[in-house]
Structures are given as C-alpha cells and as structure tokens.
Amino acid sequence: MTSPSGERSLVLIKPDAVRRGLVGEIIGRFERKGLAVDAMVLRSMDAALADQHYTEHVDKAFYPPLKEFMTSGPLVAMVVSGDQVIEVIRAMIGSTDGRKAAAGTIRGDFSLSNRENLVHASDSPDSAKREIQLWFPELA
C-alpha cells in the first residue's frame, strides 16, 4: 500500500538514542524536513524479531553484538513517509559508521560508533515493504 504522502520507510530510533534522550532531536529533524510520521511506537525488539529484521546479517561476525545492543532496551519504531523518503532519510542519517558520517547528518553529529549509530532506515522499497510488514502488520 502507498501512503497519501508518497513513499514509506521503516525507521528505528535505536536503544542508544532512547537512552541518550535524542528521540525528539531525531524526530524533529524528520518533521522539519517535511516528512510525515504515519505510525510510531515505543517498544523493545526481542531476539526473534532481531533475527527477522536483520535476516541478511545474521551470519555476519558483527551480528551477535548488534543483536545484544538492539535488544538492550526500548526503541522507537516508526513509519515515515514523503517524496523519495527512503533516499532522503538515508542522506539525513549518514554513513553507517558515525566516525565517518558527514557532519550535519544524524550519525555524523551524534555517533562515534558503527554499531551504536542511533537510527536504522529501510534501504530500498523492497526492504521498506518487508520491514513495515514485520513491525506494523496492520499497515501493510
């Protein structure tokens, strides 16, 4: 299903951002850009959901500590929509490694880690569809 405001992305504001009190800062950036929040919930990711969400990473060496981090506390799951939202949000969050992400991006401004990097956003329309189905089945 498409949104009235265009393309949709699944965004996770990760446990490090919640612990550090950066939820408002991050959502504010999306809102000021003109993107719309279609759905939002504060919840935790359990081990099974982590394995499903990160299905393409489960065999990678970085996955066990990533899973431990992502299940370590509450996160904010959102569906965000807008014109070319997938590309727009990925530009706003910056490169995976916060140490290398450009200044002015969320990771570039607030993260010094390639694991605890504050935000996840869908990387393609197919990923967005799969991830929205996983986190917000009522919207899919």
Residue 53 annotated in active site: no
DSSP code string of 81-134: EETTHHHHHHHHH--SSTTTSPBTBHHHHH---SSS-SEEE-SSHHHHHHHHHH
CB-nearest residue to ligand CMP? 120
Q: Determine contact, residues 11/78, Cβ cutoff 8 Å.
A: yes
Coil, helix or strand for 79?
strand
Give the residue, chosen from 52, 96, 134, 139, that forms a contact with ligand CMP under the rule CB under 6 A.
Answer: 96
Q: Pick from 52, 95, 114, 127 the residue near ligand CMP by CB under 6 A.
A: 114
Catalytic residue among 10, 116, 120, 121: 120
By CB under 6 A, which span of 16-24, 39-47, 75-83, 113-121 interacts with ligand CMP? Answer: 113-121
Among 115, 127, 130, 139, contact with ligand CMP (rule: CB under 6 A): 115
The helix (run of H) or strand (run of E) holding residue 12 is strand 7-13
Task: Provide the binding-site residues for ligand CMP, judged by CB under 6 A.
Answer: 57, 62, 66, 96, 114-115, 117, 120
